[in-house]
Each structure stands twice: as C-alpha cells, then as structure tokens.
Amino acid sequence: MAAKYIMTKDLIFERVKQVIENQLLIEENVITENTILLKSPEGDSLDVDSLDLVELILTFEEAFKIDISDDDASNLLSVQDIVDYIALALQKKEEESGKRKKLPGELAQELKLVDPIIDD
C-alpha cells in the first residue's frame, strides 16, 4: 500500500491563513478566502498597512519557497488572490524542476502541505 500526496488549494489556504494569523496576531476563524488585506470600504478587510503587507509577502515567499515580484505583490489584494498565486507558482516550480511525475507529493511534503491518500 503506497501513500500519495496531493497539495490542494484548501491546504494552501490553511497555510496562508496560518501565516496571516501569526504575522498579524489575528484570532482564528476570522480570515476567509474573501478577506481583503488592505483597508476596504466593503467591510471584510484586515486593514493591513504597507509594512505589514511587505512582511506578509516575505513570509509567504519563505513559507512556500517561491519568489513574488513587486508587480505581482501589488495585485495580491485578497486571501483568495494569494492562494491562487501560490498554487500557480508552485505548479510552475514543479514543471520547471522536471519532477512533474514525483510532484506534487514531494513538494507538498517539503512544504508540509500534505494530504495523504492511501492506495489499496
């Protein structure tokens, strides 16, 4: 019986949420996919200032072992934007590494974003 690992957007969201909660000292279960990072008249925002946003971006880069350009960072307005960006960046990283058949399991394990599925 072999174990396979799948990195899903749900797992990425949980890790992103954890980073934001730890970095900004926010209570659990406040952050959703629709949460806006910067101050927003729409209500569901964290009112993150520019320094906090830079620190979050750096933490995401470290946590997921990806690079986020300044141009890309300026487009990451909501938690869902971040999750989508990270999922795409990880997919590109997998494809570029030439390990497509071994991944996402290997990368998921490295990033501690694993959801084991057991084959019978």
CATH code for the domain in which residue 79 is found = 1.10.1200.10
* Residues spanned by the domain of 92: 3-118
Spot the catalytic one: 10, 47, 49, 72. 49
Predicted structure pTM score: 0.75
CB 93 within 8 A of CB 107: yes
Separation CA 15–CA 85 (nearest Å): 13
Separation CA 4–CA 120 (nearest Å): 11
Count how many domains the chain has: 1
CB 79 within 8 A of CB 20: yes
**pLDDT tens, N- to C-terminus, the chain (120 residues):** 444 445 789 999 999 999 999 999 998 888 999 999 987 776 678 888 889 999 999 999 999 999 999 999 999 999 999 999 999 998 888 777 765 455 456 666 666 665 555 444
What's residue 109's pLDDT? 66
HSE, side-chain direction, 13 A CA sphere, residue 89:
18
What's residue 88's pLDDT? 93
Among 118, 96, 55, smallest CA distance to 107 is for 96
Residue 47 annotated to the active site: no
